[in-house]
Chains A and B, each alone.
Chain A
């Protein structure tokens, strides 16, 4: 009720304003079908097709289980105007945080993969599930120091100019991870949906602000606000944007389950909702266009007639 009132007192943005921001936006967090983890509605092709119809500039395909670079490679040729990016999650399927996992990362980097997520099946992401307590990846040793092999992963990320996302790591792990990354010259860093309260105890506002101050971009996802993901209160995003600054924030969807509309539609709804909650058009421009463009190594302002298929032959 209170939340509805909050929405009600805000002015509905016009369709033109919404669509102007939608066009040219980039969504760095999209799950696609088929997925061994759950049923999903949109595959790599239809995801890119919907983005293309909307005039979006880019999508990053993500899978917890399988690298998405090959799907992205094929789909890119069909929709040259949308930057279709592959990514890799450093989970068990990829060898985990071991020598094997490192080989997987290098192989993917060589194929043009530009986005890396640290493990999703992390110890931190299991804190609310008693049956999984203690299981999952953890990047610190008993003394709280980062495991030596993590350095190796970061070197690869640096060498191939990839985007480093912390996935489902805890705040205590993320601080040394990002600090070390920054030290070796990585400037593309994202704290993945730190307020997500469906899987874990969310980061506090102070922790989020601390990461932003260390040069990390803070990601907020629309899907968290949906009823089936915990109905997260979007006013917390508004507060975080005010605290950390729009210039340190990006918005993405984390779509799409079988129950969802397309990632492109989700992006539009997210833009509309944030405008309705009082975020300015210029701040939105930073969070859905400029910042994600930087993180994917794209120029901004957007050049005309971009053809992403041309520079992705490898």
Chain B
């Protein structure tokens, strides 16, 4: 049984909507081609506009999505729509990174579904691993980081292991890459969710720590929301960003997920000011929207 249920103080609809207004979701999935999600780019954008959200960043694992985004922007100019690219299909490919960066992609995710760390959990062998046998970054990672620096992109950790992420961020620190994003380190589908001290270490390296609402939904295993709560209290709202990682075809639309996430954290007793930092100020700063 979830203890806080009895003592929780539910926020008002008005308060939740105030916080939702102006919020940014940095981790949205939309339908493209034969990859079916709950909403199209345009539907996600319209829904975000109707709720007064400020920006959405789309993560795509297989293709760059700049074209879809520029089309949706014409119809929904009120919402900032941002493209993100993931080094899944193409592997550690600097050339591809440069192409998508030149087309306007602002977030680069390191391997997600193809990361060894992710595949082990699914009982699959092989996958991408960015360290060599000595435990140092593989040589092909550096040209990619050069491009991230050159285009001032957000460097997101994907689904890699802690050892990989720590090495990647250390190299990024040395090169002066400022925008670091540790993606959902508490997610339980990672082979081993990051520990509190590992997450603290990444925050100390200057990374923002991401939590995603979809991991608290029943279809993915109903993660205990107190894990988020405790992590936020340890790391601080100043270094945390809340996203949805939605929507699979089984999920509610992403903007709805964002609202539910905000309501949940307010109900758990996190202050309005802190939630606003995590859904407005911090993502704006990381994306350079200020």
Interface residues of A (CB under 8 A from B): 1, 3-8, 12-15, 18, 38-39, 41, 128, 197-198, 222, 225-231, 234, 257-261, 265, 268-269, 272-273, 276
Contact = CB atoms under 8 A, between A and B. Distances in A.
A261 B218 contact: no
Given A228-B5, A228-B264, A261 B256 contact: yes
Nearest to A272: B250
Contacts of A128: 1
B218 A269 contact: yes
B2 A198 contact: yes
Contacts of B12: 39, 258
A84 B2 CA distance: 32
B99 to A, nearest CB: 30
Interface in B22-38: 36, 38
A261 B250 contact: no
Given A227-B225, A228-B5, A234-B218, A8 B188 contact: no
Contact of A273 (B10, B216, B218): B218
Given A258-B10, A258-B16, A269-B250, A229 B221 contact: no
B122 interface: yes
Nearest to B267: A259
A13 B216 CA distance: 20
9 contacts: A3-B221, A4-B188, A4-B220, A7-B220, A12-B250, A14-B249, A228-B225, A258-B11, A272-B249
Contacts of B263: 41, 258-259
B28 to A, nearest CB: 16
A313 to B, nearest CB: 33
B10 A257 contact: yes
Interface of B: 1-2, 4-5, 8, 10-13, 16, 36, 38, 121-122, 188-189, 216-225, 248-252, 256, 259-260, 263-264, 267
A187 to B, nearest CB: 32
A258 B13 CA distance: 7
B1 A269 contact: no
Contacts of B189: 4, 8
- Nearest 8 Cβ contacts at the A-B interface: A272-B250, A231-B222, A225-B218, A4-B221, A39-B10, A3-B221, A259-B263, A258-B10
A13 B249 contact: yes
A291 B222 CA distance: 28
A225 B222 contact: yes
A269 B216 CA distance: 13
A18 B224 CA distance: 27
A6 B122 CA distance: 10
Contacts of B259: 261
Contact of B267 (A234, A258, A268, A273): A258
Contacts of A276: 219, 250
A268 B251 CA distance: 8
A188 to B, nearest CB: 29
A230 B251 CA distance: 20
Given A1-B188, A15-B36, A18-B249, A228 B256 contact: no
B257 to A, nearest CB: 8
A284 to B, nearest CB: 13
Contacts of B249: 12-15, 18, 272
A269 B251 contact: yes
B101 to A, nearest CB: 31
A215 B224 CA distance: 36
